[in-house]
Amino acid sequence: DAKTTQPTSMDCAEGRAANLPCNHSTISGNEYVYWYRQIHSQGPQYIIHGLKNNETNEMASLIITEDRKSSTLILPHATLRDTAVYYCIVRSANQAGTALIFGKGTTLSVSS
Amino acid sequence: NAGVTQTPKFRVLKTGQSMTLLCAQDMNHEYMYWYRQDPGMGLRLIHYSVGEGTTAKGEVPDGYNVSRLKKQNFLLGLESAAPSQTSVYFCASSRDPRSVYEQYFGPGTRLTVT
């Protein structure tokens, strides 16, 4: 799996958009970008994933650069409940039974 | 749907004792996983299962055994608990990950071994 680099921490005001960057410069053509988050003391939660096109769901948007070397997770209107550790994971589709590799992630703190 | 549930939520063991952690999922997923998470570290895969009756070792399998007798259940056993096994244990399930499906996680079991 390609290595990912994320900032250690970020702050965001409640109601504002939170933009979380991820660098994955060694990503290969068949690797997807996944985002998960882990709210304190809970199990990780899937947010979104994409290959090369931008994606949007009810939780967030994922913007992947044209060269696919980086991506940004956007929470359009952050709330206090979005305070969590966010993990960017790059993974091939052809990995039956393998673990998701969670790195250190970005700790997002949303404040009022 | 309850999703992925784990039993128990908390447990304290003495060194040498044994216990079994139960994971159950109601999404008819083929794949199930056991992870552990230690402070300041990411999740590490202990064992996983690609279907009923099958299990395989992950990154850190020593000291643990697993069984998948029913598709919806995945059991993690500690035969002789050690303080190094103090951790938070998460179970997860997914459809065939070769088709790029996400993993669904349970709420975790906090285990302390004294």
State the DSSP string of A51-66. SSS-EE-SS-EEEE-T
3-state secondary structure of A9: strand
Q: Residue A95: closest CA among chain B residues belongs to which residue?
A: B98
CA distance B18 to B70: 22
Contact state of B105 with A45 under an 8 Å Cβ cutoff: yes
Task: Work out whether strand B87-94 and strand B31-37 pair parallel, antiparallel, or are unpaired.
Answer: antiparallel
CA angle B84, B89, B95 (to 5 degrees): 140
User: Phi-psi bin for A27: left (phi > 0), alpha (psi -120 to 50), beta?
Assistant: beta
pLDDT value, residue A30: 85
Contact state of A97 with B31 under an 8 Å Cβ cutoff: yes
Contact state of B97 with A102 under an 8 Å Cβ cutoff: no
pLDDT digits (tens, 9 = 90+) for A43-52: 999 999 999 9
pLDDT digits (tens, 9 = 90+) for A95-109: 655 667 788 899 999
Say which residues have a Cβ less than 8 Å from residue B103's Cβ, sequence separation at least 6.
A44, A46, A100, B33, B92, B93, B94, B97
pLDDT value, residue A101: 78
Collect all residues of chain B within an 8 Å Cβ-Cβ radius of residue A93: 97-100
